[in-house]
Structure 1
Amino acid sequence: MKMKRWAKGLLAGAMGLALAGTAQAQAEKPQYGGTLEVGTVYVTLSALSFDPADWNWKLNHDTGQFYEQLFAADLSKSKRNGGKYPFYADAWLPSDAIRGELAEKWVWSDNPLRLTIDLRKGVMFPEKPGVMKERELTAEDVVFAFNRLANSPKKIAGYFDHVEKVEATDKYTVVFTFKYFNAEWDYRFGWGYYSTITPKEVADAGATNWKNVNGTGPFMLSDFVQGSSNTYSKNPIYWDKEKIDGVEYKLPFLDKVVYRTIKDEATYLTALRTAKLDLLENIRWSAADDLKKSTPQLKWSRWLGMSGQFLAMRVDTKPFDDIRVRRALNMAVNKQEIVKAYYGGNAELFAYPQHPDYLGYYEPLEAMPESVRELYTFNPDKAKKLLAEAGYPKGFSFKVQVCSCNPDHMDLLPLVAAYLEAVGVKLEIQPMEYAAFLSAMTTKTNAPGYFMNNGHTNPTTTIRKSFVTKEVWNPSQYSDPEFDKKVAEMYLERDEAKRQVMIKALTREILEKTPYIWLPTPYIYTAWWPWVKGYNGELRAGAVRPGPIYARMWVDQELKKKMGK
């Protein structure tokens, strides 16, 4: 059906107005100065480490203000700037939304397979009294940082096995020589969790001590109080700029960024409502409804959680070595009711291990085989039948560990327990502080049941890290040599379209083997006061790394005063 000429005119006019509105928003002149008080996505968690050699998942969140990487998100492709990406994902950068950060350009060549990276010239480390003098970043810093990570006893086994060597061929050129292709080459040591460029002087002084850390980023860590706050002060010699309405501005705009660590949900919600926080990135749907009524001035974004949640069952422990038991427990939990009643519809039944944002990799539940779909259908009668067939007609009991840092899980787990008790399975719930909870999994001493959420990360890593034999983030201790082999083959495939087919098959397989009780993924809200500018809810510019986002934000201090805050 052809569109009439007048309709085309109206559509063009509407689009013009929309574009004009976007341009007007972009044209707002940024202000320098001020402090941004943030309750981050991980508002309840204090920094776990400042040393990249500790291989801690949360490191980029706490050090990404001052440690930079070879690559980062291209925030000019954000929805705020007229692009198509919200930049919510915990560690997923689409291939067309990656920019060089410390890398200026890079080229692939074969025989041998290698990547040559030209670094930006004139990028400076600021002076850090007692640690290092002000100096320029060089290729030797990249080589040192890589080797320090690769030689750490805490590294993930096999993570850099595809790398033959890393060399500085001149002051600004780094060459990575590969043994074989790895589909995550850029993520692994480019913009991922373990990609920070740490200078030798910091390592020599002691990288675990926050007072010694120093990088080339937009801010410097000027204070840290365990369990209370991280304070980042402006780096006056930061190299990067931002173009707004055709004008280039030196970054960052803010004088300070302060992360507040607040373990109690009621307290951090009150801090936002009373403007002690300018921005709170992680708000449950029920709290969002209340805040919208009590504090209508707040601005909002809504995003589907980037962490799958589940109850992991140790498959190396009876009775979970029997797939019938694992499938039974899935059918015993009314997941549709959890979406509707517990989350008030603010959740998706099926969004893990692949996230719906992973276009080309994600398959909806209706496209799955019946053997997968039935795991999401409440069927307590079949659950009892499977338990009886497995030799547990009267059920059984088992311990489940849960992190007290997660208010949602502290409420949700008793509900799951009630469903399971209806088929004769009783849970002994053990709440734990985060450090002990994480240690139980990483040392593989976790209980037979382990209730957690786990970042999707990206389409390849979500499969590897959680289901390959002996991986750190494998709380079910799932192990299948044939599955491991197929994952390894997928990483060698250079053609993304072929990789997508392989990943879909691997995802179906692990869903059917059900090492977890698969649970719904909730929507999450982010809220900020109107004086927070240069922002539209973006959360990560790499693996859990918000630093480049905060560097481009500013505080309208006049508006803040007008609003009496």
Structure 2
Amino acid sequence: MIRIPTWTRLGLWAGAAALAAGSALAQEPQPGGSLSIATVYRTVTPLSFDPADWNWKFNQDMGLVNEALFAADLSKARSRGGKQPFISDGYLPSNAIRGELAESWQMLENPLRVEVKLRKGVMFPEKKGVMAAREMTAADVVYSYDRYNTSPKKQAGYYDYIDKVEATDKHTVVFTFNKYFTEWDYRFGWGYYNAIMAKEVVEAGASNWRNANGTGPYMLSNYVQGNSLTFKKNKDYWDSETIAGKTYKLPFAETINYRFIKDESTALTALRTGKLDIMEAVPWSAVDELKKNAPQLKWNRWLSTLGTFIALRVDTKPFDDVRVRRALNMAVDRDQIIKTYYGGNAELLGYPMHPDYTGYYEPLSAMPASIKEVFSYNPEQAKKLLAEAGYPNGFSFKVQTTSIHTANEMLSMVASQLAKVGVKLEIEVLEYPAYLSAMTTKKNAPGYFMSVGLTNPTTSVRKTFGTGQTWNPSQYTDKALDAKLATMLHEPEEAKRQQLLREMTREVLEKSPHIWLPSPYFYTAWWPWVKNYGGELRAGGDRPGPIHARIWVDQAMKKKMGF
């Protein structure tokens, strides 16, 4: 018998009892005003407006428009008196999830299935030329799932644990499983590929932003390529926010603008001059000057949820030899990178885990000596290993990166360090679409420099090191690891999953398919007129929409401050 976690049996939003914590959060909200936000991915413009393209960035861009079955329970945020930072790109602890389009849900057996009861009266608003206003129903959930599952761009194996999805009545959807799968809620409930779409939008052309329409708190009103997404309030939105015991209709701001600004200095100037209300990812190097020139800004510091590395194609010589891969790691002086490139504002993690993953994360200090050796700067040992592998004079190889990568200067620093052991990096800079395509089509160069979201503890190892996975630029393959991954993903006991993942993390670090690099600290900055906000970044798979919908603007304060 499968032990069903309590939260899946109950499936109810815990409510907003902690929302009154903090005087700023307890003020009377003011509707209206406008928010301008440079999100975490301010350098990456929308990749597609059709979620069936399996576009990882869809939730980031369209999470104000399209909702999912589940989302983060923001009453559990630290800024509201809870314990959750809500920073991770794809991690929600099981006790910090609420129903969004789902009102309740329960896991049942014989057959194993999840029965979801949808909220009644949730509306798709009218969109001229696309659809009339109508209620969202179970048929929309089934349609959306089927469309993801049959998309030619679908990630292989993503829904293999699901036998069928049925609408058993107008407001009930049943997901029938062929086996227990620990990521079920993430994969179809609150993760990256589960936005609920209306068939009318698809028939009008889902790839055209002008046709976008969803049940969310905002409607997309304009898109200026390379510049901004503009959203206007959906006046028929269903949800509300409870502050200091009083309930208020959402959303609060009249309009929200997501700004795309590739140039860092331009973005920082926009923040300093109040043209941006929030900048979600401020580099550490800019913080002291901003605190001096704009002392009223509020701040939240967080450790990057991205893993930064140079992936080494293990199916390509010389990287099919573990000695070469370990040698390149030993040739990199990470302490120098942390000190000189990051000014001390970085950490060396037990990648691919993150310290926020309590019970899953193991610090390098607790690792065996053979793994600590990989992370220790030892150019002489690196030369010895290269000679043993048949490369006493070193070699050269191509490394691909993208023009929008903010750490390309660090890549040049790594190249300089590797040159000291005779290894030359040929750096190729690509525009992001070409760069991403190289990896997804498995045509990437022997070296591939990237920063990629760790996502969550049960996904991180699989997506980066599982055989044939899309986000596996090293083309790493290990049948024993794949078998352990399969066991872990079907294990209902979290303690056992944690143990398996700690073991797998050690195995991957030992074999070093990447040159592991430090993870920096970032800061989120916002002006004090931004209310009901504490620096949270995601309420699901890279989805800030529910957070932004709950922000209100103290317009009188903004005017008094001269903005």
TM-score, length of structure 1 as denominator length: 0.95
TM superposition shift of 1:343: 1.0
Q: Supply the distance in 1 between the matched residues of 2:177 and 2:34 (Cα, whole angstroms).
A: 44
Q: How far has the Cα of 1:26 moved from its partner? A: 2.6
Report what 1:199 is aligned to.
198
Superposed, 1:9-158 pairs within 5 Å as 22-158=21-157
Which residue number corresponds to residue 264 of structure 1? 263
1:453 counterpart (435, 451, 466): 451
Q: Counterparts of 1:390 and 1:186 in 2: how far apart (Å)? A: 45
Residue 14 of structure 1 corresponds to: none
Identify if the C-alpha distance between structure 1 residues 262 and 351 changes in structure 2 by more than 3 Å, giving closer, same or farther. farther
Question: CA RMSD, aligned part only?
Answer: 1.1
CA distance in 1, matches of 2:19, 2:380: 59
Distance 2:359 2:479 in 1: 26
For residues 332-380 of structure 1, give each alpha carbon's deviation from its aligned partner in whole angstroms, at most 9, with x where no partner exists.
0011221122211111111520000000000111111111111111000
Query: Comparing 260-269 with 338-347, which one deviates more in the overlay?
Result: 338-347
Q: Which amino acid in the other structure matches residue 307 of structure 1?
A: L
Matches within 5 A, 1:124-523: 124-407=123-406, 409-523=407-521
- Residue 10 of structure 1 corresponds to none
User: More displaced, 142-151 or 104-113?
Assistant: 104-113
Amino acid at match of 1:290: E
d(CA) in 2 for partners of 1:450, 1:219: 38
Q: How far has the Cα of 1:466 moved from its partner?
A: 0.5
Instruction: Measure how far apart 1:296 and its partner are.
Output: 1.3
Which string of whole-angstrom CA distances, capped at 9 and with x for unpartnered residues, describes residues 304-350 of structure 1? 00000000001111110100000000000011221122211111111
The answer for the alignment partner of 1:529 in structure 2 is 527
Q: Secondary structure at the match of 2:238?
A: coil
In 2, the alpha carbon distance for the partners of 1:27 and 1:357 equals 28
Opposite residue 549 of structure 1, the aligned amino acid is I
- TM-superposed CA distance for 1:102, in Å, is 0.5
Find the aligned partners of 1:20 and 1:465 in 2 and give their Cα distance.
35
Cα distance change on mapping 1:22 and 1:100 into 2, 3 Å: closer
- Deviation at residue 536 of structure 1 after TM alignment: 0.7
Identify the residue that residue 547 of structure 2 maps to in structure 1: 549
* 5+ residue gaps, structure 1: 1-18
**Contact 2:22/2:79 (<8 A) preserved:** no
* Cα distance in structure 2, aligned partners of 1:251 and 1:328: 55
How far does the alpha carbon of each residue in 1:382-439 deviate from its partner, in whole angstroms, 9 at most, with x for none? Answer: 00000000000000001111111122x1211010001100100011111111111111
Contact 1:301/1:536 (<8 A) preserved: yes
What residue is the counterpart of 2:8 in the other structure? none
- 1:131 maps to a residue whose letter is V
The CA distance in 1 between the partners of 2:89 and 2:455, in whole Å, is 6
Deviation at 1:24, TM superposition (A): 2.5
| Structure 1 residue 107: Cα displacement | 1.1
Over 3 Å counting, the alpha-carbon distance change for 1:23 and 1:42 in structure 2 is closer
Amino acid at match of 1:230: L
Unaligned 5+ segments in structure 2 are 1-17
CA distance in 2 between partners of 1:211 and 1:41 (Å): 24
Contact 2:19-2:75 within 8 A present in 1 as well:
no
Measured after TM superposition, the shift of residue 20 of structure 1 is 13
In 2, the alpha carbon distance for the partners of 1:382 and 1:410 equals 27
Identity of matched residues, %: 64
What TM-score comes out, normalization by structure 2 length? 0.96
Shift in Å, 1:127: 0.3
Q: 1:22: how far off?
A: 3.8
CA contact (8 A) 2:382 2:421 kept: yes
Amino acid aligned to 2:102 = A
Instruction: Give the secondary structure class of the aligned counterpart of 1:400.
Output: strand
In 2, are the aligned partners of 1:350 and 1:521 still within 8 Å (CA)?
A: yes
Q: Which residue identity lines up with residue 531 of structure 1 in the other structure?
A: W
Report how far residue 284 of structure 1 moved: 1.0
Deviation of 1:21 (Å): 9.9
Give the partner amino acid of 1:497: A
Q: For the residues of structure 2 that align with 1:497 and 1:20, how far apart are their CA atoms?
A: 31
In structure 1, distance between residues paired with 2:288 and 2:348? 21
Q: 1:238/1:428 Cα in 2 relative to 1: closer, same or farther (>3 Å)?
A: same
Q: Tell whether the 8 Å contact from 2:20 to 2:26 is kept in structure 1 after alignment.
A: no
- Checking the alignment, whether the CA contact within 8 Å between 1:351 and 1:520 is kept in structure 2 is no
1:254-276 deviation per Cα after TM superposition (whole angstroms, max 9, x unaligned): 01110111111111111111111
> Which amino acid is 1:271 matched to?
A
Secondary structure at the aligned position of 1:391 is classed as coil
Amino acid at match of 1:291: L
Q: Distance in 2 between matches of 1:22 and 1:120?
A: 28
Q: Which amino acid aligns with 2:431?
A: E
Point out the more displaced range, 369-378 or 236-245. 369-378
For 1:424-464, what per-residue CA distance to the aligned partner results, in whole angstroms no more than 9, with x for missing partners? 00111111111111111111111111000110000011011
Q: Mean alpha-carbon deviation: is it higher for 492-501 or for 289-298?
A: 289-298
Q: 1:164 deviation in Å? A: 0.2
Q: 1:539 maps to which residue?
A: 537
C-alpha deviations, 1:149-203, integer Å up to 9, x for none?
A: 0000100000000000000000000000001111100000000000110111111
Contact 1:351 1:521 in 2 (8 A): no
Match of residue 561 from structure 1 = 559
Q: Distance in 2 between matches of 1:279 and 1:93?
A: 23
Please give the alpha-carbon distance, in whole angstroms, between the structure 1 residues aligned to 2:394 and 2:424.
8
The residue type paired with residue 477 of structure 1 is Q
- Give the letter for the 2:545 counterpart: G
| SS in structure 2 at match of 1:281 | strand
Q: Distance between the aligned counterparts of 1:377 and 1:521, measured in 2?
A: 16
- CA–CA distance in 1 between the matches of 2:30 and 2:105? 34
Report the Cα distance in structure 2 between the residues aligned to 1:314 and 1:351, rounded to whole angstroms. 21
Q: Secondary structure at the match of 1:41?
A: coil
In 2, Cα distance between equivalents of 1:209 and 1:80: 37
Deviation at 1:224, TM superposition (A): 0.6
Off by >6 Å, runs of 4+ in structure 1: none
Letter in 2 for 1:522: P
Contact preservation (8 Å) 1:298, 1:530: yes
Q: 1:289 Cα deviation (Å)?
A: 2.0
Partners of 2:73 and 2:359 lie apart in 1 by 21
Q: SS in structure 2 opposite 1:454?
A: strand
CA deviations 1:119-147 (Å, max 9, x no partner) are 00010000011111100010000000000
